[in-house]
Amino acid sequence: MTTKATHPADTPLYPIREVSRLTGVNSVTLRAWERRYGLIRPQRTAKGHRLYAYDDVERVEQILQWLNRGVPVSQVRELLDQPAPAEPQAPAIGDWLGQRQQWQAAVEALDLGRLDTLYHQAMALYPVATCVGELFKPLIASLEESWGEQLGAALQRATLESFLRSRIGTRLYHGNQINTGGTVLISRLPDAHGMLWELLIALTASDAGYRVQLFDDALPLNEMPLAVQRLDASAMLVCSGQAERTELFRRQLPKLAEQISVPLGLCGPVARIREQELADTQVAVLGDDPLQAIARLKPLTRVR
């Protein structure tokens, strides 16, 4: 497969919106891969509109495979041009580490302009799943470990949360206009220190095709059945980055899972910490990884 810009006359050609639908890669990212890195070279109509052949679609899928293995986009072209697949080279790990270090430095400096640049750069060049798995999840885990009780930690957390809430909130809004999956309600648990894990779950769920209702404050447990009913939800997800109170897992969440008619899923680090305590309950322990959590949710949700 090559990046040649011409194809036989009888080759079916697809507009960019159709390639985006087939591959799950948005048009902004497809254009960035073409302009910045020359990864794909579609044909152009007389008016300048892009047209892609099937081998272009296959090439996009190959690019996704490399990105999902942790290879930075800047190294993908040389791998695509090799005659046989090769293992990612060590610099791939360093690239993601470097990006996370830039983010952490921007958070510590409360540099919103830098955060904005880094966010748009990552989201333009990589699929959402790759950004969540390689960048946001390990970044938040690292930040939470470093924050502890140090002076300024609360300010850094609030700054990052506010920044991500506005950016991810915009994506959720637009996603809800086009997604055809069920509605997923997402709330943090009562003792959670903010909503960073909640935001990652929401972003991942939206990318997977769900319509997402994200609650900025912890929704009271006794109002969750009403929320499920009134919002016609397919699932209720609760998140936290810490252990929470034991009583929540011994009695309250298991009781809630019996009261609502849709899956009650537990996500974030709390799911790893409390997994054993919920083994014999109806609570779906989805895990601390957002990508795995939403993948585990899919077979549990009913199609509407």
For residues 201 and 267, the answer to whether their CB atoms sit within 8 Å is yes
Could you give the CA distance from residue 186 to residue 104 in angstroms, rounded to a whole number?
A: 26
Sequence-ordered list of residues with C-beta below 8 angstroms from that of 149, at least 6 positions apart, any chain: none
Element (H, E) at 186: strand 183-188
Could you give the CA distance from residue 175 to residue 162 in angstroms, rounded to a whole number?
A: 20
pLDDT at 12: 79
In the predicted model, what is the mean pLDDT of residues 41-48?
86
Predicted confidence band at 11 (pLDDT cuts at 50, 70, 90)? low
Sequence-ordered list of residues with C-beta below 8 angstroms from that of 181, at least 6 positions apart, any chain: 208, 209, 210, 211, 234, 301
For the ranges 78-87, 165-174, 207-216, 229-238, which has the lowest average pLDDT? 78-87
Residue 164 burial (C-beta neighbours within 10 Å; 0-12, 13-18, 19+): buried
CATH number for 180-300 (one of 3.60.10.10, 3.40.50.620, 3.40.50.280, 3.40.50.1980): it is 3.40.50.280
Domain extent listing, the chain? 13-80, 90-160, 180-300
Each residue's pLDDT tens digit, 209-230: 999 999 999 999 999 999 999 9
**Cross-sheet strand order for the sheet of 43-44:** 13-15, 50-53, 43-44
More confident site: 81 or 112:
112
For residues 303 and 182, the answer to whether their CB atoms sit within 8 Å is yes
- Is pLDDT of 53 > 50? yes
Percent of all residues in the chain with a pLDDT value above 70, rounded to a whole number:
91
pLDDT at 10: 55
For residues 160 and 103, the answer to whether their CB atoms sit within 8 Å is no
Whole-number mean pLDDT of the chain?
86
pLDDT at 1: 37
pLDDT at 239: 94
CA 129: distance to chain centroid?
A: 5
Residue of 101, 32, 41, 42 lying closest to 67 (CA atoms): 32
pLDDT at 2: 38
- Burial pattern 227-260, b for ≥16 Cβ within 10 A else e, equals bbeeeebbbbbbbbbeebeeebbeeebbebbeeb
More confident site: 159 or 93:
159
More confident site: 2 or 96:
96
Residue of 293, 243, 291 lying closest to 269 (CA atoms): 243
Percent of all residues in the chain with a pLDDT value above 90, rounded to a whole number:
48
As assigned by CATH, the class of the 13-80 domain is mainly alpha
